[in-house]
């Protein structure tokens, strides 16, 4: 579906542009932009641009857009998507990370931070903490770029209170698919602002985001509560996400599911659980009929002033919950350690050689009214065989915290609450990859058959019909905005959403 470059590669005119010295066509450069974290899709670009400024990106896009045969242009943040979304077969990948090399592109003000789209969230955190401030909404993993997560949504355990990361942005700089450099916000060029948030890179490249800040918490009481009963687990999660900041509750709420032999055959200890904890949990898992253990993962922020009351506050919250008695695990860490927690797991997985392997991940937003059907049919059904299944995330969010004007979608049922379920599995062999992909297909088919109106997060479809159904009522507006801001359909073609517009016969003939 992707139009290749004209035979002979990039037009020589491209190398006559002022950015020629920043374009690499050597095998090392193109190979490093040919795959992603998923390690499932592979496609080489013709070249990689290493921009020094947003104007370099604009020059490249203008060149493509005005070419007789425009070529694909894809920004690549960390390449942490899993289905080739940042690839540009036959086109140019923009290595966003070089934007911040020469200039410091994180500027902290009293209540917001201006961060380059190429910046890693961990660096935004470090810079803002120096001022005692921090963004309010986070992803679980911080080695992701600002532009990359804002092009999806950026979800995590703070979303129930603050919404996803896209709901915490005041202003964006975007280089559109025509090469125009636009500053947009709720008040200025708002169609582009809302389109780009969750926009899957379809309307342009985010080169700066103004992100809301709050006073940074200092310490975190990090808590895990074990459940053997999904009804109690989801009821308690929903209670916790209904609480306002002024009430006794948590500041972060997520959840995980451990199935089959994952507990007994997984690591003997984790950065959170000791070996003794894991043995106790494995004992609990073997007592439950299904072998499924659910964890609420939660966090309570505090500082020197509020530290004396944390124990009391936690006690009050726990008294309202129905976890398995005695199965409370807590740990006190700094705010930075808490937010950067997945980095420790990454180091362990790298050490064990299981980080750079295929990741056929499937993330779904499931309506609250069907989460128990999903649990029975998918977690205890399709995935409930003998195989350990690795990490499964499952936690609810409040729909009201999502702005429906943005491109990102939530389940169409319009319920107050929906769940995110992440089947974050790794394949250690080709057979396993095939099996996991088959299971993913079965999960989607099950939801279809049972009328569970879920939406994919970090979506992937192979047909435009799939995308139309994904965007639902938003589709026609999205198509119009695409025609306005990327009329040649050159941006982030690795998402495979829009076909190429037909090339006028006269133009084709000249190429
Ligand atoms: C270990 C791990 C943990 C994760 N945890 C979470 C999580 O907790 N919550 C969550 O929401 N997501 C999570 N993700 C998913 C992650 O948010 C997305 O994969 C995101 O796209 C990754 O950012 P990236 O910088 O690597 O983007 P890339 O993979 O490089 O790009 C993703 C897409 O966005 C486009 N793009 C990249 N930069 C820009 C830009 N500046 N402007 C416009 N478009 C752009 C690309 O062309 C591509 O289509 C996780 C991923 C991994 C690998």
Q: What is the 3-state secondary structure (H, E, C) of 347-416?
A: HHHHHCCCCCCCCCCEEEEEEHHHHHHHHHHHHHHHCCCCCCCCEEEEEEEEHHHCCCCCCCCCCCCCCC
**Which pLDDT does position 511 carry in this prediction?**
26
For residues 473-490, average pLDDT: 97
Supply the residue whose CA is at minimum distance from atom 41 of ligand 1.
147
- Of 95, 92, 94, 114, the residue nearest 105 (C-alpha): 114
Question: Using CB atoms within 10 A of its CB, is residue 351 exposed (0-12), middle (13-18) or buried (19+)?
Answer: exposed
Q: Is 507 a residue whose pLDDT tops 80?
A: no
Work out the percent of the chain whose per-residue pLDDT is above 90: 82
Among the ranges given (89-103, 186-200, 477-491), the one the predictor scored with the smallest mean pLDDT: 89-103
State whether the Cα torsion 185-189-191-195 is positive or negative.
negative
Q: Which of ligand 1's atoms lies nearest the C-alpha of 36?
A: 29
pLDDT confidence of residue 442: 97
**263-283 tens-digit pLDDT:** 667 777 787 888 899 888 888
How many whole angstroms from 329 Cα to the centroid of ligand 1?
A: 31
Question: Per-residue pLDDT averaged across 211-217, rounded?
Answer: 98
H or E segment and range at residue 483: helix 475-485
Indicate the average pLDDT of the chain: 92
Return the residue whose CA atom lies nearest to atom 17 of ligand 1.
149
For residue 424 the two structure tokens come to: 């974050």
Ligand 1, CB within 6 Å, residue ranges: 36-37, 74-81, 85-86, 96, 117, 139-141, 144-145, 147-149, 151-156, 200-201, 205-206, 458, 492, 494-495
This model of the complex carries an ipTM of: 0.99
Q: Are 175 and 216 in contact (CB under 8 A)?
A: no
Q: If you average pLDDT over residues 220-225, what whole number do you get?
A: 98
Task: Grade residue 11 by pLDDT with cuts at 50, 70 and 90.
Answer: low
Q: Report the percentage of the chain scoring pLDDT > 70.
A: 94
Predicted confidence at residue 174, as pLDDT, reads 98
469 or 286: whose pLDDT is higher?
469
pLDDT at 115 over 50: yes
pLDDT, residue 10, reads 66
Looking at residue 12, what is its pLDDT? 67
State yes or no: is 359 an active-site residue.
no
Q: Which two tokens stand for residue 31?
A: 């190979």
Strands 92-95 vs 73-76: parallel, antiparallel or unpaired: parallel
Q: Please tell me the distance between residue 153's alpha carbon and the centre of ligand 1 in angstroms.
A: 9
Q: Are 169 and 153 in contact (CB under 8 A)?
A: no
Nearest to 161 by CA among 299, 319, 315, 368: 299
């Amino acid at each position: 579906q992707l139009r290749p470059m004209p035979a002979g590669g990039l037009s020589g005119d491209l190398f006559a542009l002022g950015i020629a010295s920043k374009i690499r066509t050597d095998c090392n450069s193109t190979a490093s932009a040919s795959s992603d974290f998923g390690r499932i899709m592979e496609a080489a670009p013709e070249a990689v641009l290493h921009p020094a400024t947003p104007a370099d990106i604009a020059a490249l896009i203008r060149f493509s857009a005005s070419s007789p045969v425009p070529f694909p242009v894809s920004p690549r943040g960390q390449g942490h998507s899993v289905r080739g979304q940042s690839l540009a077969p036959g086109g140019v990948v923009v290595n966003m990370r070089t934007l911040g090399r020469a200039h410091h592109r994180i500027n902290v003000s009293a209540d917001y931070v201006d961060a380059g789209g190429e910046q890693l969230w961990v660096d935004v955190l470090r810079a803002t903490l120096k001022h005692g401030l921090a963004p309010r909404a986070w992803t679980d993993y911080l080695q992701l770029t600002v532009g990359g997560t804002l092009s999806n949504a950026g979800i995590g355990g703070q979303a129930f209170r603050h919404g996803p990361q896209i709901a915490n942005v005041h202003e964006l700089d975007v280089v559109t698919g025509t090469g125009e450099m636009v500053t947009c916000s709720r008040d200025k060029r708002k169609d582009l602002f809302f389109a780009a948030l969750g926009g899957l890179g379809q309307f342009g490249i985010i080169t700066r985001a103004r992100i809301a800040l709050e006073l940074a918490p200092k310490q975190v009481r990090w808590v895990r509560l074990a459940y053997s009963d999904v009804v109690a687990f989801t009821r308690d999660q929903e209670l916790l996400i209904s609480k306002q900041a002024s009430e006794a509750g948590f500041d972060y709420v997520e959840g995980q599911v451990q199935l089959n032999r994952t507990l007994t055959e997984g690591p003997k200890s984790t950065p959170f659980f000791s070996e003794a904890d894991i043995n106790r949990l494995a004992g609990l898992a073997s007592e439950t009929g299904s072998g499924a253990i659910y964890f609420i993962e939660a966090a309570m922020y505090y500082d020197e002033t509020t530290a004396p009351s944390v124990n009391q506050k936690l006690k009050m919250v726990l008294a309202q919950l129905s976890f398995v008695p005695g199965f409370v695990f807590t740990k006190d860490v700094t705010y930075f350690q808490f937010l950067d927690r997945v980095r420790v797991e990454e180091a362990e997985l790298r050490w064990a050689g299981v980080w750079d392997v295929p990741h056929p991940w499937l993330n779904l937003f499931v309506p609250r009214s069907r989460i128990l059907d999903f649990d029975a049919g998918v977690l205890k059904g399709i995935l409930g065989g003998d195989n350990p299944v690795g990490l499964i995330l499952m936690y609810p969010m409040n729909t009201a915290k999502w702005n429906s004007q943005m491109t990102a979608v939530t389940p169409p049922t319009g319920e107050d609450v929906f769940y995110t379920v992440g089947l974050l599995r790794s394949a250690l062999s080709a057979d396993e990859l095939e099996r996991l992909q088959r299971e993913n297909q079965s999960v989607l088919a099950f939801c279809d058959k049972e009328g569970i109106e879920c939406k994919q997060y970090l979506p992937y479809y192979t047909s435009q019909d799939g995308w139309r159904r994904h965007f639902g009522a938003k589709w026609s507006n999205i198509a119009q905005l695409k025609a306005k801001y990327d009329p040649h359909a050159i941006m982030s073609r690795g998402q495979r959403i829009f076909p190429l517009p037909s090339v006028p016969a006269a133009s084709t003939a000249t190429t």
